[in-house]
Structure 1
Amino acid sequence: MNPLLHAEQAVLGSVLLDPGQLAHLDWLAPDHFDRPVHQALFAALRKLRADGHPGLAADASVPLSWVTDAVEEAGHHVRGLSAVYAHTLVSACPRPEHAPVYGRMVLEGAIHRSITAHAIRLHQAARADALRGEVEGALHHAVVLTGVLTDLARRWGTEPRPVPPATPLATAPAALPPVRADHVSEDERFLLAVLVERPRAMDEVVGWLRPGDFADPAHGQLYRCLGALHHRGEPIDRITLLWEAQRRGLLADGTLSGGQVAAICDGVGPGSAEWLGEQILRSSVTRVAAASARAVQGLAQDEALSSGQLINHALHALGPLDDVRTRWQIANGRPAPPPSTRAPSPTGPSPARVHAALARSSPRQVSPSSATASGSVVAPAAVRTPSRGPS
């Protein structure tokens, strides 16, 4: 038994039994239905309503033409629909006056499907960018997903805000494609060697490169040690770096060994710290994008989450990606992007969100003549690839 399928059938059945229920479903769109035949039929019913079908004016029994005309109109856009299925939909509706509640179930299913689809696209773009050594696709789909979440929150009638789940998701860090892993590790070692040899180069990367951007955790810890020495204004060389690593317990717990530190410090050669840092940050963008996409997809597949919880948890899961995206733009000399979600209004939610929330749960007796057609969902869309090479 599929609750979503029954909810879609019940919505359509309620409108076929009582055309006036369309006045309480202005926030529901045809593409919110999962099955194409249901999409076509709901669009047909809305068209008949917009055209002023006589069935809307019926005071007592609904004329048969309301059903047959809807089936005929929907049949222009989908194959296999017959009047028999229309009667099946009528039988699937327990109470026509519960149409807004059935519609809310349909909208919840659409929200879960939409977020899942966009998370999959983000993951695919991140993996493709990782193979090509790019970030544009991942960044574009990240902006699209954030826009979709914000739009869905407004359609659902809630304020979009990042909220961590009660139980943190257990997601493993995204692994680099084998073809790129060696290149990234080499860039990381080379950057650390350059920073040890030329401590002033820390100024070129310290503002936007973080230890978590390193694919190798040991390399990230060494960069953290360099950052600590730089922050305190202490000298940086292989001895002070080794001493800082020891003070942080990295030698005792096996994170690093003296041989690893020596090998990195011996790999000195001419190079641009800024260019190497950008290569590392580029790799970090795609890894974080893939990990965030998997986290959002896992949330969307949890049917126990309500739509409001799902949207806000998904925005929270995109937080690390927002951070690394901001630092990527700073590294490339571009201004930081605006916040992905607006702060809650001190005067409370907007009237539009209040109306959307109330319409789903409190059906009101509205005359068909005062009904308005619903709007369409709009998903927004939206970095200079470093042109500098190593010196």
Structure 2
Amino acid sequence: MDPLLAGEQALLGAVLLDPRQLRHLDWLEPRDFHRPAHQAVFSALHDLRKAGHPGFDADSEVPLDWLTDTLALAGKHTRGLTPSYLHTLIAACPRPRNAPLYGRIVLEGSIRRAVTEHAARLLAIAEEDLAQGNIDGTAAQADVLVGVLADLAGRWGTPPRAQRPASTPDAAPAAEPSDAVRADEQFLLSLLVHQDGAVGEVFDWLRPADFAVPGHGLFYRCLGALHHRGEPIDSVTARWEVHRRGLLADGTLTDGQLAPILDSHLIAGSAEWSGEQLLRASLARTAGDSARRIAALADEGRLVPGQLIGQALHALGPLDEVRARWNRAVSPPQQPRPDADRDAQVAAALTRSSTPACNPSAAPPHRKIAFDSPPRGTQVAAGPNLPARSHP
């Protein structure tokens, strides 16, 4: 039998045998059960407790109407419930006093299903946005997933803190880039090679990992190295940088891949606009990769919910980084306030024009020199070997 199914049946059987166990299960909700019939039974048990059913306060034997009323109330919300199934639930419970532990099993299964469900939604929306060139739905669903993980962490009793996994699970592989994607990336790289200063337009927010084709990302890294060193970028310097890094020798890039990029001389277009389109697609792809990784984590039964939530938040880290660069790319440049500029200029001028304080005690002694002119007619000695002269 499925362990999760056994836990749900044991929990419901425990409450049917001992209704007072509901006092220890206030943190559990009907939606935490996987089977709709179990959701209906647990919801009926809660409703009977709120209504003050006499079976809830029974000190010894549980009255029969506790079972019949539960069956009647649950039958209004689901089909197929029979008295024999309630007896099946009762028989599945080894010890009613272990109901809180059975509830923990139910909650753990609920957390795994919730993480898997929202990761699947993020993947579906990301793939749709990637095909349509949008990111609004992807960003919104990513925020929903973060909120769900925080809520689940609160229910489990752990802080929503990202946790690096000890080993990365094998996720479903992403689709290979299409010919259209390859052509768009080649066009952007051609703009960066043949337009002066084009690399500077995207260098601050575009990264090699944003390219769907790994070879294109490595070529962009070569252009970024030339730009960082302040060297000119053209078809010759770009080819030499590729050669220096051994990308042709190890087969990472081929002459066939470089030809559409380096041999195109009449290139017209906006590198900034093309870079933004590439970054938009990178955000959707990164969201899909994060969703696949989270789904793989949820499939691993060895992770307790606290670890699953923490590692799922860690898997969303690359998406947060791409979103931050996207916001930087589309945000208008920050212009300094004129008042702040004027204040800075005044402060700098005052600093340059201020006279440093002088400490008289620290200054060396100076001989006082009189510049007063002697009276007219006074003989002034010009020197030991010079004749005296009269002051005019």
Matches within 5 A, 1:336-347: none
2:198 corresponds to 1:238? no
The answer to whether the 8 A contact 2:172-2:292 is kept is no
Deviation at 1:172, TM superposition (A): 6.1
Deviation at 1:198, TM superposition (A): 2.3
Matches within 5 A, 1:219-234: 219-234=216-231
Amino acid corresponding to residue 100 of structure 2 in structure 1: P
The answer to whether the 8 A contact 2:158-2:306 is kept is yes
* Partner residue in 2 for 1:376: none
TM-score, normalization by structure 2: 0.80
Name the SS of the counterpart of 1:270 in structure 2.
coil
Query: Distance in 2 between the 1:170 and 1:81 partners?
Result: 41
Deviation at 1:89, TM superposition (A): 1.1
Query: Distance in 2 between the 1:78 and 1:4 partners?
Result: 20
* Partner residue in 2 for 1:195: 192
Query: Distance in 1 between the 2:12 and 2:330 partners?
Result: 52
Q: Which runs of 4+ in 1 moved over 6 A?
A: none
* Partner residue in 2 for 1:290: 288
Query: Distance in 2 between the 1:245 and 1:333 partners?
Result: 33
Deviation at 1:270, TM superposition (A): 1.2
Matches within 5 A, 1:1-391: 1-171=1-171, 173-176=173-176, 181-258=178-255, 260-268=257-265, 269-333=267-331
Query: Distance in 1 between the 2:261 and 2:69 partners?
Result: 76
Deviation at 1:59, TM superposition (A): 1.9
The answer to whether the 8 A contact 1:184-1:283 is kept is no
Query: Distance in 2 between the 1:17 and 1:131 partners?
Result: 55
Query: Distance in 2 between the 1:173 and 1:189 partners?
Result: 24
Amino acid corresponding to residue 219 of structure 1 in structure 2: H
* Aligned-residue RMSD, C-alpha: 1.9
Name the SS of the counterpart of 2:197 in structure 1.
helix
The answer to whether the 8 A contact 1:149-1:311 is kept is yes
Specify every segment of 5 or more residues in structure 1 that has no aligned partner in the other structure, as ranges.
Answer: 336-391
- Are residues 176 and 127 of structure 1, via their aligned partners in 2, closer, same or farther at CA, if it must alter by over 3 Å? farther
Amino acid corresponding to residue 264 of structure 1 in structure 2: I
Deviation at 1:16, TM superposition (A): 1.1
Q: Deviations over 1:317-337 (max 9, x none)?
A: 2222222222223222289xx
Q: Deviations over 1:183-220 (max 9, x none)?
A: 22222111111112224222321222110010111111
Query: Distance in 1 between the 2:322 and 2:277 partners?
Result: 13
Specify every segment of 5 or more residues in structure 2 that has no aligned partner in the other structure, as ranges.
Answer: 334-392
Deviation at 1:173, TM superposition (A): 5.0
Amino acid corresponding to residue 333 of structure 1 in structure 2: S
Amino acid corresponding to residue 228 of structure 1 in structure 2: A
Instruction: Name which structure has the greater RCO, CA cutoff 8 Å, separation 6+.
Output: 1
Q: Deviations over 1:277-324 (max 9, x none)?
A: 111112212222222211111111122221112112222222222222
The structure number with the bigger radius of gyration is 2
Amino acid corresponding to residue 315 of structure 1 in structure 2: L
Q: Deviations over 1:246-287 (max 9, x none)?
A: 222212212124564353123241111111011111221222
Query: Distance in 1 between the 2:319 and 2:55 partners?
Result: 52
Greater shift in the superposed pair: 167-176 or 28-37: 167-176
Task: State the aligned residue count.
Answer: 332
Q: Percent identity?
A: 59
Q: Deviations over 1:84-135 (max 9, x none)?
A: 2212211111111111100000111111111111111112112222222222
Amino acid corresponding to residue 239 of structure 1 in structure 2: V
